[in-house]
Structure 1
Amino acid sequence: MAAHRPLERRAVAEVMTLDLLTISESESVLMAWELMCQAGVHHLPVADDEGGFIGVVDAQTLTASWNASGPEQARRPVTALLPPGPQGAVPPTATVAEAARAMVKAGRDYVPVTDDRNVLVGLLTARDLVSGLAGVHRDVAPRSGGMPSLYRIEPVFPAGLPGHPDAGRMGPD
């Protein structure tokens, strides 16, 4: 029945992205970039050390603030890229039209979706809106609760490079 209602009247929970890749506040800008590239995503919710929602870093902000002047810039905490002020979240019961207005007001192509305890439950993006408008339904397994999945990717250095555990050992010929 929900699919027959116009998109703007549907609840955000019906079209939002549920399975989110997140990053910890203690991670670097470089790690955020790597996660976005490897996963092919444009938005990374940032979690505090207890798993609580802090904000969202998007690819546009990351690329606009990228500074290749030295490694210390790449090692800045990802929280340095969070937009100032509140994130303008909406509840999952908000209509798509209300969420779209929040996106326009914030000047962003996403809006965080939080529950009544400010726990992130999803993210509504411009892509979700276009998919909903096109009638494309993406099947996603329901989440078990709490902060969305936090995947951790560790960099792997080729043997022989500084920083690799086997850097001082001779390899086979």
Structure 2
Amino acid sequence: MNARTPLEARTVAQVMTTDLLTITPEESVLMAWELMCQARIHHLPVVSAEGSFMGVVDAQILMATWESAGPGRARRPVRDLLPGSPLLAVLADDPIPTAARAMLSANTDYVAVIDDDRTLIGLLTAHDLINALAGGPTPQPHPRPSMPSLYRMEPVLPKHRPAERPEAMAHPSRTVISPD
């Protein structure tokens, strides 16, 4: 089938995105936000170390649950944001209307695509559907597999506030953060 085939006659596999950035459930909410900002994505699938699909954290969930009560809350694990309800997922061979109905019934703009072993193989988003409807290019899988993030970012905070260290005020070009 090609782009001239009506969207409702295509399968999820023909339209879904397979080049996914994923995160493990142990990673922090801050890491999820940073990954989404840096990669300019709105959906971040959560996959266990064994490769099991656990859910999706999206920008809306992060914004709704963000707490600015200090760095400790931003370090809570992504696992805390995952819904307790059954996972929203479809199979790659499912027709597009089936996936669209699942998205509508769950009131989301995405649906995870899994295989028979519940392993994540892709994500179908509203953007993917609009792209296919508009005759845009079919997403091409990249040769690299999806993988959890490989780095950790932690904020660096000074041990002392500048007001507590008068020498820092006298020498503004010097840093107040001592090397550890």
Aligned length: 162
C-alpha separation in 1, matches of 2:144 and 2:47: 17
**Structure 1 contact 18–143 (Cα < 8 Å) conserved:** no
Q: 1:150 aligns with which of 122, 125, 148?
A: 148
CA shift digits 1:62-116 (9 cap, x unpaired):
0111010122210111011112211221000011111000000111110000011
Q: Which is higher, the Rg of structure 1 or of structure 2?
A: 2
Answering whether residue 30 of structure 2 is matched by residue 13 of structure 1, we say: no
**Structure 1 contact 32–78 (Cα < 8 Å) conserved:** yes
Match of 2:97 in 1: 97
Q: Which amino acid in 1 is paired with 2:149?
A: Y
- Structure 1 residues without counterparts, runs of 5 or longer: none
The Cα shift of 1:155 comes to 2.4
**Structure 1 contact 35–153 (Cα < 8 Å) conserved:** no
CA shift digits 1:99-154 (9 cap, x unpaired):
00000011111000001111100000010011011110144235566xx2333233
C-alpha separation in 2, matches of 1:153 and 1:138: 30
Identity %: 51
CA shift digits 1:25-64 (9 cap, x unpaired):
1101111001000110000000112222111000001011
- TM-score, structure 1 as length reference: 0.85
What does 1:15-34 correspond to in 2, within 5 Å? 15-34=15-34
C-alpha spacing 1:142/1:39, structure 2 compared with 1 (3 Å): closer
Q: Give the stretch that moved more between structures: 25-34 or 77-86.
A: 77-86
Q: Give the stretch that moved more between structures: 135-144 or 125-134.
A: 135-144
Answering whether residue 48 of structure 2 is matched by residue 48 of structure 1, we say: yes
* SS of 2:55 mapped into structure 1: strand
The Cα shift of 1:168 comes to 3.8
- TM-score, structure 2 as length reference: 0.82
C-alpha separation in 1, matches of 2:88 and 2:29: 23
C-alpha separation in 2, matches of 1:139 and 1:89: 19
Match of 1:86 in 2: 86
CA-atom RMSD in angstroms: 2.0
- Structure 2 residues without counterparts, runs of 5 or longer: 160-176
